[in-house]
Structure 1
Amino acid sequence: MTDIYRAAERLMGMQDADWRRHASPWSVWTRFSCLPLMVLAIYARQWIGWWALPLFLLAGAWTWANPRVFPPPADFGSWASRGTLGERIFLARNRYDVAAHHIRVAHVLTALSAIGVLPLIYGLIVLNPWATVLGLVATILPKVWFVDRMVWIHANITNSKPGDPLPDPTLPHERTPT
């Protein structure tokens, strides 16, 4: 399960500047539109046939561009910004003292999200709107909870409170190798 996070990060090709931009609440909240747009494009094949393919490619382009199109926030203290900063810490958890219970919960939430993909795929194959919506919700809700867990990780590692102003998103000091 550990490698899925790094694989996703590599697939997105995120650099430091991209992460700073992705910490914008606009980026975080609009990110939740990516999967529904892809699902809609796939589902639209029943109405518009092959014209759904350009819509799917547009949704894929939006998924890649989303973390890059918004300017970095002036203050990184919001829930959304701290979720992004916490995700960076989580992805580098081998270099930080992330509590084991946070890692366990992140794995469980990722697994729940993956399970939600099953009815989503079924719904898209047979064009069942109820299975599609159920799968979409079952995939996205654990992801929202995952972001909240990343906020906790950020708060624990930085000894800060979510909502407090945070003008600099500098990551905390890494632990000393033993």
Structure 2
Amino acid sequence: MSPSDDDFDAEHSFDEDEHGDDSVEARVWQLLLLINPGDEETALQQFAVYRDAAGHADEDEPIRVISQVIDWRSGFHVDADDTRTLVQAIDELTSRWNLSVEWDGDPDDDDFHTDVDVPSLFATAYDSLTPYGYTLWAWETDDGSYAGWMTLTRDNEPLRELATALGINMRLGTEVT
């Protein structure tokens, strides 16, 4: 069974009663739609990979499988002090919508990376994307690394609801510590 627009509507907040399906798969599908705004094809591809991977995984937490499925296309997961990879990952995400982040310096310059940390880069990217109607999110990892994705700002509340339902602790890009 594949998801259909009738069952999953990305324009509305997630509500078990409204959609009639409170399964983890239904929630993951909705999440994939939110982090792939306007790109249902990519969401469908990722959902198919998620379903296959989830069937073979021993994980109780869907975020671990989601993270693998979306990495470097719709999300990222970087080491705690790897500012270069974070900039590259966010630049990759924003390029999907022909956006770019004003990094307040040249990320290709070595000195740039000695003067910044991951939380400040998250905040810079968040502030740069907000005027265009996008929100940069971070989700908590249990290994000290940083992970995140982008959504349309209008989808902030549905994302928060879905993240809570999936057990994902989310923060706005400006709240990363």
TM-score (norm 2): 0.23
Query: Which structure has greater helix proportion?
Result: 1
Taking structure 1 as the reference length, the TM-score comes to 0.23
Larger proportion of strand = 2
